[in-house]
Structure formats: structure tokens, C-alpha cells
Structure 1
Amino acid sequence: MPAIHPVAELYAEHQRWLLGWLRHKLGCQHQAADLAQDTFLRILGSRQGKLADLREPRAYLTTIARGLLIDQFRRRELERAYLESLAGEPEATAPSPEQRQLALEALMEVDRLLDGLPAKARRAWLHSRLDGLNHGEIAALLGVSVPRVRQYLATVARHCYELRFGTAE
């Protein structure tokens, strides 16, 4: 008899529990089912070999699901902010639905690329690039010094460089 794949075993033992946990968090069966599926897909693409040694499978599943949930909320907030900014545009200059979708996808890609950076570094870069604020204005908004803003922007630049070209090692 062939061995059961570790992800299949994890799924069989904990999928219903995870679905219930997500349903409780989201209040929607369909969204919970989608997020549960995404959780197991994320596991399939990651550390499958270490699943056999997993001591707290539910804690592991909730950690992954919570991260996906946060990503989903961030995407929705990004979309809401984008659509809100479009609402102020005159009809003649408003982008087409296709242009809106492309812009939203680009914003989500930027958000994905900045993932993992400290929140203030992300905000500093977004204020600089999207809002066109100078270092002093960003410092005032974030409640930090101008040199700290420069450090944040350097951190983001280094992060983007490493994503594009890899690390120096």
C-alpha cells in the first residue's frame, strides 16, 4: 500500500476544522472555503518534507491562513482606496474598466513586492512614490526624523534591488 502524501494527510485530518475556523473569522462559507483551499495550496508549494515532523498542525494551518487573510484584507483595502481616488476624477478623465484593472493589478504587485518590509518603510516609500511627498513631509506624517525617512527609503531600495538582482553574496 503506497504511503499517504503528508499534505493529503494534513488535509484529511484538519481541513474541516480549518474551514470552521475561517468561517467563524470571515462569516462567509464561500470565502472560508476559498481561503482554506489557498492555505493547502500554499503548503503544497512549500515545506512538504517537514510536514511529517509537524507537532502542532492546527497552529501551523492558522498561521498560514491568518497570513492569507491579512493579504486578502490588504488587497481589499488597496482596491477600496484606489476606487475611492477614482471617484474624485471627472468622467472624461476616468480610466476605462480595463485600465482600472491593470492599475489595480500593478498596485497589488507593488504591495506584494513590499511585503516583508517594516510598515514605516513601506509607508515612507508609498508616500514618496505615490503621493510625491518630500522627506520632511514624510517624516512629519510618520513621526520620525528626516534621516530615518532616508534610511527607510534606502531599505526599500535595497529590498527591491535584491528582489531584482539577488543579494551581493
Structure 2
Amino acid sequence: MFCDSRKDILLTSYLDHWHNMRARLVRRLGSHDLADEAMQETWLRLDGMKPANTTIANPQAYLLSIAGNIAIDLIRKEKRHSDRMTYKDVNLEELIDNAPSTEAVLLAREDLKQLVRALLGLSDKARKVLLMNRSAGLSHREIAAALGISESMVAKYMAQALRHCRDYMRENS
């Protein structure tokens, strides 16, 4: 193809050597995305050039130089952007609101009311055994000693309490 201007020579060289230049940029920059962006910006810059009749000894090297400079500019721009977005004195984890939503609180309150109603339907001993185990974290042996009953009775009261609560919650949900 006969080219009569520097712009035409550079555009032709760009198209002819695109894959090779992109591969070199990827190796140099370590990023396919950054290389692609630099190559695209290089094309836009070339397309916007005013024609000139000066000669360039090595168009491919000239283009690679342009693309490399564009890539450096892109890296600097990204760094400035990320520096603005980073708050060194703020722990971003602290900004997360771990409080439950209003809906979750209302649902939990309703569940708690149902559980209290279920517990009120238990005998005193069964309720005490369940609460000592689940709320206070006491073992069957510790509950038996505290209430003056056998461990097997603690197990029976636990089973009775759990069964009652399960059934109550199923019926009233």
C-alpha cells in the first residue's frame, strides 16, 4: 500500500503489527486489559493526528513508545483514582452496620413471644430444667444436683420441654 503521509504510515504499521505490539505491552505491563486499553487509546491518538510529511525511521518502535506512554498514563490515572478512594484513617469494616433490620427485629420479637408462651405452658420443673440447660449452660449432672433430682429425671424433663416447645411453635407459626 502506498502511503503519502506520516499518519497513513503509522496507521498501516499499527494494523500490521497490532498483535506483536499488544503482546509486548502485555509482557511489559503484566495486564491484558491495560494493554488493550493502551492499544485502543493509541489508535485514537493516531487517528486524530494531523498529516505530516516527516518520516519515522521505525514506525513500530514509535507506536510501541506511544502505547507504552499511554499505558503509564493509565496506570498513574488509576493510582490517583484509587488513592482518592482509599481512606487510610478509616477501617472500612467499621462502616458496615451489623445491626439487624427493623423487620428482622420485629420477627425475632414475635418468635420470642411465641417461645415465652410455649415456656409458660410447661410445668415448673420442665421449664427450670430447660432454662438451666439452654440459658445457663448447665449440664444434666449440675441441674440434677441443683434441683435435687436424678439425671434421668433431668433428661425426661428436657425431652418433655423440647417436645412441647417444638409442637407449640409448629402449631402457632
Normalised by the length of structure 2, the TM-score is: 0.42
Greater Cα radius of gyration, structure 1 or 2: 2
Normalised by the length of structure 1, the TM-score is: 0.43
- Greater RCO (CA < 8 Å, at least 6 residues apart): 2
